Structure 1
Amino acid sequence: MIDGMEHLPTTESAVAALVAVAAEYAREIEVTHDIGADQTSRRSAAGLGVTTDPDGSLPHEAFAEFGGVPRVSVRLFPEDDALITVDTVECPDIPRDDVPAFLRSVFGGLAHVRARRFPPGYRLIVPLPGDRAHKELVPMVLLTPWLSSRVR
């Protein structure tokens, strides 16, 4: 259990958690759904007109965009992971259960950018529960005003 959230077994429960986080931080949220193997991004090899996986299940993917600064989007995949984009930085392979905590760190001001002198570079650091953190390389050319304001 993370931040009082139970395991998010379905895309619908994960979307409900995103909506709750958006309400908590007074953010607008827009969600679109892709349902069926012929619609989801990781199943482009599905044949024409094939909507189910080989096991007969109907894969469900969702994409959410949050209003405000920083610009944040979340793509929830049927495989229990997500791609979160914070401004220009893509954070792939985030476990679905960590998504609400990840967003709370970003919206709550805990996420920051660490600058390194040698070799020069930047990393987006997003603290997660249990003394964990997601770290993602930020190319200098992708530093936005919001990312620059978070450099430590």
Structure 2
Amino acid sequence: MEKARLPTTEAAVQAIREIAVRFGVSMSVTDDIGADRTSRRTSAELFTVFDPDGSLPHEAFVELAGSPAVSVRLFPEGDARITVEGVEFHDVPRDSVPGFLRSVYGGLATTKGRLFPPGQWLIVPLPGDETYKELVLDSNFTPWLARSARP
């Protein structure tokens, strides 16, 4: 499956909405629009809407209800932070977000323990050769993560 181009935050939100409908998951979206409202523009003056280049930054926070607990923060720069059951995946390209969510909700995401380095890892494979892997802290090991364990 070819990765869809998501040129804007709004296009990514729409793609997430379609995945939520497909998997029967409810979602809520919070939009932050303007340089003084987005999280990475902390140096922007109050009521400054546009970036110095004249663009209007748009950031969105999407929460998907149910199990697993998933949230996605889409940044204006074209990347995202996806949190699955408390495990954060930073710097996921915006274009990879739909494939990431399809893998999580489609049952392809797994946890795997390793002796060295020690720990449990949440592994999310995407179509092609793209795979994301993050360490699961013991305090974050939820029932959904336990069910996703592979030997």
**Structure 2 residue 129 is the aligned partner of structure 1 residue 131:** yes
User: How large is the Cα RMSD of the aligned pairs?
Assistant: 1.1
Structure 2 residue runs without a partner (length 5+)? none
**1:85 counterpart (72, 83, 90):** 83
**1:49 counterpart (47, 50, 60):** 47
Deviates more, 1:89-98 or 1:132-141: 132-141
Superposed, 1:77-116 pairs within 5 Å as 77-116=75-114
Offset of 1:4 from its aligned partner? 5.2
**Structure 2 residue 22 is the aligned partner of structure 1 residue 38:** no
Offset of 1:131 from its aligned partner? 2.2
**Whole-angstrom CA distance in 2 between matches of 1:4 and 1:67:** 27
The SS at the match of 1:79 is coil
**Whole-angstrom CA distance in 1 between matches of 2:117 and 2:132:** 20
The SS at the match of 1:131 is coil
> Contact 2:3/2:96 (CA < 8 Å) preserved in 1?
no
The SS at the match of 1:147 is helix
Once the two structures are aligned, what percentage of the paired residues are identical? 59
**Whole-angstrom CA distance in 2 between matches of 1:80 and 1:143:** 30
Query: Structure 1 length as normaliser, TM-score?
Result: 0.94
Deviations 1:88-125 (A, max 9, x none): 10111000000000000000110000101244201110
The SS at the match of 1:21 is helix
Query: Structure 2 length as normaliser, TM-score?
Result: 0.95
Deviations 1:25-55 (A, max 9, x none): 0110111100001000111110122111001
The SS at the match of 1:41 is coil
**Whole-angstrom CA distance in 2 between matches of 1:93 and 1:14:** 15
User: In structure 2, do the counterparts of structure 1 residues 73 and 25 end up closer, same or farther at CA, with 3 Å as the change threshold?
Assistant: same
Q: Which residue of 1 aligns with 2:20?
A: 22
**Whole-angstrom CA distance in 1 between matches of 2:30 and 2:122:** 27
Q: Which residue of 1 aligns with 2:63?
A: 65
